[in-house]
Structure 1
C-alpha cells in the first residue's frame, strides 16, 4: 500500500543522461530521459538523443550502444533546451548520483546564458539511507536487487524509468515520515562564502578526484584530493572555524574546479604532481624545494660503512639502492645523523662529523665502540650501521620489471592505467571521453614513493607485470 505522499515533494523530475565523458565543462550530453511526476502521477515523459558535435570514445559507444552515426540526425542541445527547461521547471531534480546529471545540465544551459537551479535528490544516497544493510547502491545493483525493469541499461530514458520504479517502491515500503527524514538529511547544505556561486556545489561530483580553490583574481589557493569530491569540499566550507588558515582560505574562495579520477590512487598521484607544478598558496605539506638533501651510503678505504650528504635537484632511479635518507633541508639531515649516532653508538669520525686525528671525541665519552681506531671490527660496525638506517632508507623495488596498475570507477566509465618502475611513474593512460597517454620523465619523487609504498600492498586488484 502506497504511503500518504502529502508530506513528500509533489513535483519531481526523474532524470538520466548519457554523455561523451565525465567532465561537465568539456563533454556534452548525447542522450536524455526525463519523467515528470506530479502528485504521484506521471504527467510528461521525454526521451531524446542529442548530437554533441564533438567526438567521443569507443568505450562510451560500447557502453551506451550510441554511435556518432546514430546521432547525425539528432537535434543539438540548443534545439531542445526550451523543452527540457520547461519539463524541469519547479520540480525536485531526481537522479542517481545527482551531481553528475545536474552539473551537466547546468553547464549545458549556461552555454546559452540560462541560469538553471533546482533542489536535487540523489537516489543513490536515498538507497544508502533507507537500505543501509546493503553494500552496493549503483543503478545495476538496484535493478538486480529489486527486480526493476530496464530494457536498455545505460540508455537515458530506461535508466530514468528505473529511478521512478525505485521511488514508487520506497513509497510502498516506508512511511512518509521516514522518507521525509531521509530526504531532509540528504539535502542539508553548508554555508557558502559570499563571493562563491551557490550553484557550484550542485555541480560537484561524488566521485574520486582532485579539486581546486581560486580567489576572485584567479589565484590558485588550494589543491585537494578525495574519494568523494563533493563531500570533501563541503567539509572545507562547513569547518572554516577550525583553524585561522582554513578560515582565511575559505573566506577567499570565489571559484571551485575539479578533475575526476578513476580512484584514490589516481587522485593521490594527480594531487602530488599538480601541487608541485602549480604551487598553490595554502598547500604546505606537498610543496617542496626543488633541491633535496640525500644521505648516500659509501664504504671507507678501511671497509667501514659511512654516509655522505649530497644536494640534488633530482634523483636518478638507478641510484636509489645507495640512498639511505632523503631530507628537505641540510639541518634536518644533520640532526638525523646526530640522532642515529647517539642511538646506535656510531662513530662520528667515520660519519665525517669529527675531523680530529686519532679517536673521535665520542670514543672518550664511551659513546663510540672504537671503529675510528680499528678497535671495533668493520663487519660488526657495518651490521649496526645498516640496522640504524634500515627504517629510513629507500625500500628496494619489489619487482624485477615495470608494473601496470589499473584503476576503474564504479561504472567502469573511467579507466586509468599507471606504469611504474623503481618507484617512478613513467606513463599514465586515461580512457574516458577519449584515449590519452601521458609519458613522464622517470625521476624519483619522494611523495610518489610514499604514495606507492602505502598503496601497493593493498592493490592486489588491477596490478600486472608489464
Structure 2
C-alpha cells in the first residue's frame, strides 16, 4: 500500500444518511497499515440511537434489529481513537467519513484532528481519462469483485484491492508519487493554522478571510468551499491580491448554503455590508438610469435619474442601469448619434431652432420641422427598447427553492420586485417575510442574478397575497413551479 506513509488507516463508515449534523454511524470498519504492511483490522456495528431509514437498510443490508444490541459510538470511541492515533486517515470520499467521525466525537465533547487522504482524488489523479471514480465505477473498470458492497469492511477491502491493482497497472512509483502530492497539499500562509483545512466542507457557501481584526480582508463564494479556499494558496495560480492576502490572513470563516444561488446572494450582501478591502466588483455603487418622458410636451425628454428614483413600479419608463452618471450620458449620446435623434429636443443640448447635428446630417431634423415630433418620439422609444428594465413578472412575492443533493440542506430565497427580501430555512421565518411589508433597496447585482436564474429555474413558489396561510398552498420546502404574469 502507501509504503512512504509510516502509519495509515483505510476506513469506511455506514450511516443513517448523508448529513453529519443529525445522521448517525451504523457501522465502522478499518485496516491499519505500518509502512505498507497490514498490522490490524477492526469492524463493529454501531447503535445509532435513531431509526435507520428503510431505503438505507435496503442499500446496506443493516437493519434496526441488527444494531439494537450493538454498542453506541460512545462505547467504541476510545477503541477507534487508538486505531486512528498517529495515522493518516484514508477513505473513499474521506470528507464524508471524517465529517461523521468529527461530529460524533464533538457530541462527546472531544476533538478529532487527523491528516486525511482521499482515494477518490487518488483515482482521479491516476486515471484522469476515466469519468467515474466512485467505488462502483472502480469495480466496473478494473473488473474487481466485492461480496459485501455497501458494508463497511467490504468497501475497505475494495479500496485496498483497487490501490494494489493500480500499482500493478501503473507502477508503484506512480501511485506513491500521487499519494505524496495529495498529502503535501497547498503552501499555507505563515499566519494561518493548517488545522482549519480539515473543517472546511466541499459544499456551496461563502468564505471570509480575516487579518488581525474583525474586518474581513476578502469575501468569496464557491460551490466547493474547501477547494476554492485552497486555490487562493496555490503557488502556481497566486495573483497579486492572493499574495497580499497571504501576508496578512490569520483566520478563515465560512457559511454553508444549499446551492449556488444562495452563495451568490449571501456573498453580495456581505460585501455590501462589510466592504472588505480586497473586494471591488460587488462593493456598493450608486446606480443611474435613463428616464423617458411619458409624452411629447415634457422637457427634457430623457433624464438621468439616480437610484432614489429607480423603483420597479416605474420600470416601464426606465432604460438601462449604469454605475455612474457619466456612463449613462455616454450611452445616451451613442444612441442619439446612432439613430440620428435630436440632442436638443431630447434635452442634452441647449438652444432653440435647428441643432448643430442637423447641419451635419446627423439628426433627421425634428428640431427644424423636417420630422414629425411623434415619429421622433417613437424612434427614441424604439432605440431605447433594448435597454428597457424588465418589469417584475409575478403578482407578488416569490420563493426560489434550493436543495443540496448531498447534505439535504434546503433554503428558500424570497424575492419581490427584483429585490432579495430574505433567505429562510423554516416555515416560521417564511411566514414573517410574507406578512411583513418590506421596502428593500434595489440592487443591480441581484436584479441581474435573479433574471439569469429565472430563465432556467422551475423550482419557484409564487405567493400572490401577503396574508397567505400555509394551508392554502404548497409549503416553502416543497417544489412548485410558479407562473409569472405577462409583462
The bucket for the TM-score relative to the shorter chain is 0.7 to 0.9
The 2-side partners of 1:411 and 1:142 are apart by 21
Q: CA 1:323–1:108 in structure 2 vs 1: closer, same or farther (change >3 Å)?
A: farther
Does residue 465 (structure 1) correspond to residue 482 (structure 2)? The answer is yes
Q: CA 1:212–1:159 in structure 2 vs 1: closer, same or farther (change >3 Å)?
A: farther
Which segment is superposed worse, 74-83 or 222-231? 74-83
Q: Any stretches of 5+ residues in structure 2 without a counterpart? A: 460-478
Q: CA deviation at 1:197?
A: 0.6
Tell me what 1:228 maps to: 224
Q: CA deviation at 1:309?
A: 2.2
The 2-side partners of 1:244 and 1:408 are apart by 36
Mapped contact 1:8–1:180 kept (Cα < 8 A): no
- After TM superposition, list the pairs within 5 Å mapping 1:171-210 onto structure 2: 171-172=164-165, 174-175=167-168, 176-210=172-206
Which segment is superposed worse, 205-214 or 319-328? 319-328
Q: CA deviation at 1:449?
A: 1.9
Q: CA deviation at 1:254?
A: 0.9
Residue 169 (structure 1) aligned to one of 162, 181, 185: 162
Q: Deviations over 1:237-264 (max 9, x none)?
A: 1259854433222221111121222322
Q: CA deviation at 1:184?
A: 3.2
Mapped contact 1:150–1:161 kept (Cα < 8 A): yes
Does residue 30 (structure 1) correspond to residue 30 (structure 2)? The answer is no
Mapped contact 1:429–1:436 kept (Cα < 8 A): yes
Tell me what 2:313 maps to: 318
The 1-side partners of 2:281 and 2:67 are apart by 48
Tell me what 1:55 maps to: none
Tell me what 1:439 maps to: 433
Q: Deviations over 1:401-426 (max 9, x none)?
A: 76654433342622333355553445
Q: Relative contact order, CA 8 A, sep 6+: which one is greater? A: 1
- After TM superposition, list the pairs within 5 Å mapping 1:256-271 onto structure 2: 256-271=252-267
Mapped contact 1:211–1:256 kept (Cα < 8 A): yes
Q: CA 1:160–1:220 in structure 2 vs 1: closer, same or farther (change >3 Å)?
A: farther
Tell me what 2:466 maps to: none
- After TM superposition, list the pairs within 5 Å mapping 1:242-253 onto structure 2: 242-253=238-249
Q: Deviations over 1:69-115 (max 9, x none)?
A: x9999999777654332221122212343335435655776798966
The 1-side partners of 2:131 and 2:12 are apart by 24
Which segment is superposed worse, 138-147 or 270-279? 138-147
Mapped contact 2:29–2:156 kept (Cα < 8 A): no
Q: CA deviation at 1:29?
A: 6.9
Residue 332 (structure 1) aligned to one of 315, 319, 327: 327
Mapped contact 1:149–1:162 kept (Cα < 8 A): no
Tell me what 1:376 maps to: 371
Rg (Cα) greater in structure: 2
Tell me what 1:354 maps to: 349
Q: Secondary structure at the match of 2:371?
A: coil
Q: CA deviation at 1:133?
A: 5.2
Q: Secondary structure at the match of 1:283?
A: coil
Does residue 214 (structure 1) correspond to residue 210 (structure 2)? The answer is yes
Residue 380 (structure 2) aligned to one of 368, 379, 385: 385
The 1-side partners of 2:410 and 2:457 are apart by 15
* Aligned CA-pair RMSD: 4.4
Q: Deviations over 1:375-415 (max 9, x none)?
A: 32345434542443344332355667766544333426223
Q: Any stretches of 5+ residues in structure 1 without a counterpart? A: 53-57
Q: What TM-score comes out, normalization by structure 2 length?
A: 0.74
Q: Secondary structure at the match of 1:416?
A: strand
Q: CA 1:268–1:347 in structure 2 vs 1: closer, same or farther (change >3 Å)?
A: same
The 1-side partners of 2:79 and 2:337 are apart by 77
Q: What TM-score comes out, normalization by structure 1 length?
A: 0.77
Q: CA 1:458–1:301 in structure 2 vs 1: closer, same or farther (change >3 Å)?
A: closer
Tell me what 1:48 maps to: 46
Q: Secondary structure at the match of 1:187?
A: helix
Mapped contact 1:223–1:283 kept (Cα < 8 A): yes
Q: CA 1:374–1:188 in structure 2 vs 1: closer, same or farther (change >3 Å)?
A: farther
Q: CA deviation at 1:324?
A: 0.5
- After TM superposition, list the pairs within 5 Å mapping 1:421-432 onto structure 2: 422-426=417-421, 428-430=423-425
Tell me what 1:11 maps to: 8
